[in-house]
Structure 1
Amino acid sequence: MGKINFVFYSMIFLVSVAMAGKPTAEEENLYNECDKGNGKYSSCTKLIEILSKKCDSGDMIGCSDLGYILGPKLGMREASITPYEKSCKAGIAESCFALGTQDIGLRGNIKKAVINYTTACEKFTDQKKLFKLRSCALKVALENCLRDEEEHDPVKCAIEAFEEITDKYNANSTKE
């Protein structure tokens, strides 16, 4: 599980950087203080407050960013699910990918992971080709894990597939 958590956090960080719109100067400052630690937990709580308001007002990138701050940044992975779900339902591919990863590593719900990776596969554009390919490959691999669930543990199969696909695409991304 340690490797899947590391991979999850690394990928979500990269996705968050790639998807981030133009944050306000205050948000950027709060994010940097929260991200770097520096004893500035108050920066994290203020950032959560700002992103929560954005999410509640219908800003789906704000919801996705909130999920990222709550989950990978602060370790509140269960709390990150609601904003990720909201933004995934709105078609934010990065949130769907994050949910798929949590469905495997946190909840062990492979059927739900397939749904979320399917959405991510459909919603990622060619500008984020590696994430699109990874999402599509995970969807197929997890469907195969579910087909054979009477013969083996689908969660174990899913974790192994996730690690294998992540390793494959991480190796490919360093060549590009």
Structure 2
Amino acid sequence: MGKINFVFYSMIFLASIVMAGKPTAEEENLYNECDKGNGKYSSCTKLIEILSKKCDSGDMTRCSDLGSILGIELGMREAAFVPLEKSCKAGIAASCFNLGIHDIGLRGNIKKAVMNYTIACEKYSERLEEERIFKLKSCALKVALENCLRDEEEHDPVKCAIEAFEEITDKYNANSTKE
């Protein structure tokens, strides 16, 4: 299970970086001071406050950032769902990708993961190489998870989904390091 946890958090972090807009200087400074929750607590709190306000006012990129920081950096995975779901519904591909990971690894909800990877597959563009890779991963995961659900009477769909996620992640990570 250690490998899936490593892959799980690595993919969330990478997906967030790909789609995130440029943070303000203050946000960047607070993020660095927060140091993934190992730094100044007041910086983490202030960063969450700033991003929450921006998310509440309709800045979906900041909702995505908030979800990533809460879930990945600070380990508040359940709290990450609300901003990630909000930004995924608004079409932020990275949030949908991250939700798919959460749905598989934390909730075991493969049907929901398929829905989220479907959106990510449709919304990722192919402008940048990183986005193209996430698009390919999202589309491949959508198909693989649909197959896991199709065979759910014979196999555990969550176990199948975790194996499919690891296989697809390994495949695309190996391909991206060759380039």
TM value normalised by structure 1: 0.96
Q: Percent identity?
A: 85
Letter of the aligned partner of 1:11 in structure 2?
Answer: M
Aligned partner of 2:164 among 161, 164, 169: 161
CA distance in 2, matches of 1:152, 1:104: 15
Q: How much does 1:29 deviate?
A: 0.1
Q: How much does 1:39 deviate?
A: 3.0
Q: CA RMSD in A?
A: 1.1
Aligned residue for 1:149? 152
> Are 2:64 and 1:61 aligned?
no
CA distance in 2, matches of 1:36, 1:154: 33
> Are 2:162 and 1:129 aligned?
no
Q: What runs of 5+ residues in structure 2 fail to find an aligned partner?
A: none
Letter of the aligned partner of 1:129 in structure 2?
Answer: R
Judged with a 3 Å threshold, the aligned counterparts in structure 2 of structure 1 residues 140 and 100 are, in CA distance, closer, same or farther, namely same
Judged with a 3 Å threshold, the aligned counterparts in structure 2 of structure 1 residues 70 and 36 are, in CA distance, closer, same or farther, namely closer
Q: How much does 1:82 deviate?
A: 0.5
Where does 1:1-176 land on structure 2 (aligned, <5 Å)? Answer: 1-35=1-35, 37=37, 39-127=39-127, 128-176=131-179
Q: Is the 8 A contact 2:15 2:98 kept in 1?
A: no
Letter of the aligned partner of 1:167 in structure 2?
Answer: D
Between Structure 1 and Structure 2, how many residues are aligned? 176
Q: What runs of 5+ residues in structure 1 fail to find an aligned partner?
A: none
Aligned to 2:3, the other structure's residue is in SS state: helix
Q: Is the 8 A contact 2:16 2:95 kept in 1?
A: no
Letter of the aligned partner of 1:162 in structure 2?
Answer: F
CA distance in 2, matches of 1:81, 1:94: 13
Q: Is the 8 A contact 2:64 2:87 kept in 1?
A: yes
TM value normalised by structure 2: 0.95
Aligned to 1:151, the other structure's residue is in SS state: coil
CA distance in 2, matches of 1:134, 1:174: 15
Letter of the aligned partner of 1:157 in structure 2?
Answer: C
Judged with a 3 Å threshold, the aligned counterparts in structure 2 of structure 1 residues 160 and 36 are, in CA distance, closer, same or farther, namely closer
Q: Is the 8 A contact 2:63 2:86 kept in 1?
A: yes
Q: Is the 8 A contact 2:36 2:73 kept in 1?
A: no
Q: Is the 8 A contact 2:117 2:139 kept in 1?
A: yes
Letter of the aligned partner of 1:139 in structure 2?
Answer: K
